[in-house]
Amino acid sequence: MRTLTIFFTLLLPAAAFAADLTVKVVDPQYAAVAGAQVSLLCGAENKTVIATQTTSAEGTATLPTKRNEPCQIRVLAPGFAEDFAAVPTEPQLKIVLRLATASQTVVVTATRTPVPGEESGADVDVLNGSQLTAMQPTAAADAIRFLPGAIINAAGQRGGLTSLFVRGGESRYNKVIVDGVTINEPGGTFDFGTLPLDQADRMEFVRGAQSTLYGSDAMTSVVQVWTRNGSTRVPELRFGADGGNFSTAHGFASLAGARSFFDYNFFGSQFNTQGSGINNTYSDSMEGANVGAALTDHASLRVRLRHSNSHTGVPGEWSFNG
């Protein structure tokens, strides 16, 4: 009896797997697709990857299947849309892939209405929310300097006057808009080193004269920033902190969500550094809110608030700021 118990114990795990499944991946013309990634997904909501194989030159891949739970096959291939198929009872499965939809970037600043970037007739560069999060810019200047055609000049240490020059124009030839509100004076120089981008969902940079749409001060470029809207039904709390040498510290927090026709996003951040010299400090605090309500399918009400306050020391033995 003891021998039988051991025998069945070793046999059960093997019985959980059926014969191998051969998957053939083809394109819409039924030509074999080589190099496609074929995965077996099982578990809760079919999210656990059990096995992964790459299709051969004949477009085939072999995967082990499981009997004790429903699973599905996922296929990923460059140039094709992601495809799923339930695991069949037969040992073979053919999957016909669909061509991936061509992606396009929709811009607003170039025409003041949403249009595909290729149809805007302007030189536009876009930084989306994920790109801004990965860059972690302290101020707008740290993000804009990576865009083509933008020349950033900072006078001295962090917090010094930071100007933008585009296509040989002066620094006062740029229009800066945050959440639909112009924040620089017409013909006046704007300090891009004191504009924090925390909770910025999108930034558009339009190069070239845009005076017909934005006035005479938009002679070389327009920079526009939008704040992120709340989108999750469950309130989403984000917070974090980082630091470095010269007593540099940065912290941020936000609470965002959406319920029925109402969405919200409350956020704040603080950046401090002592700098490398005497009286070389810089600090910037930012608080804001983005609250909206969908009144109808074609009308909505939105209130955006953003307040930023910065302080820059004057390097030297004398503290002129008191």
The answer to whether residues 163 and 139 touch, using CB atoms and an 8 Å cutoff, is no
Q: How far apart are CA 104 and CA 98, in angstroms?
A: 18
Is residue 38 within 8 Å of 58, Cβ to Cβ? no
pTM: 0.68
Of the three residues 227, 262, 294, the one that is the final residue of a domain is: 227
When mean pLDDT is compared across 11-25, 242-256, 271-285, the lowest value belongs to 11-25
Question: What is d(CA 258, CA 262) in angstroms, rounded to the nearest whole number?
Answer: 6
Give the structural domain span for 297.
236-312
Q: What is the pLDDT of residue 136?
A: 87
DSSP state of 50: E
CATH of the domain at 151: 2.170.130.10
Of 277 and 220, the structure prediction assigns the larger pLDDT to 220
205 and 268 in a common domain: no
- Report yes or no on 6 lying in a domain: no
Q: Is residue 84 part of a domain?
A: yes
5 domain residue, yes or no: no
Mean pLDDT for 5-14 is 43
Same domain (yes/no): 172, 148: yes
Indicate whether 165 belongs to any domain.
Answer: yes
pLDDT in tens, 193-218: 888 998 999 999 999 988 888 888 88
Map residue 117 onto helix, strand or coil.
helix
Which ranges in 175-313 belong to alpha helices (H)?
211-214
Contact 38, 52 (CB under 8 A): yes
Residues 211 and 288 in one domain: no
DSSP bridge pairs for 207: 123, 221
Regarding whether 251 and 223 lie in a shared domain, the answer is no
Of 173, 193, 227, the position where a domain reaches its end is 227
- Order of strands across the sheet that contains 248-259: 236-244, 248-259, 262-273, 282-294, 300-312
**Model confidence over 86-110: pLDDT tens digits?**
888 888 999 999 988 766 778 888 8
Confidence grade of residue 3 (pLDDT, cut at 50, 70, 90): very low
φ, ψ of residue 117 to 5 degrees: the values are -60, -35
**The pair of three-digit structure tokens given for residue 295, joined into one six-digit string:** 């009144």
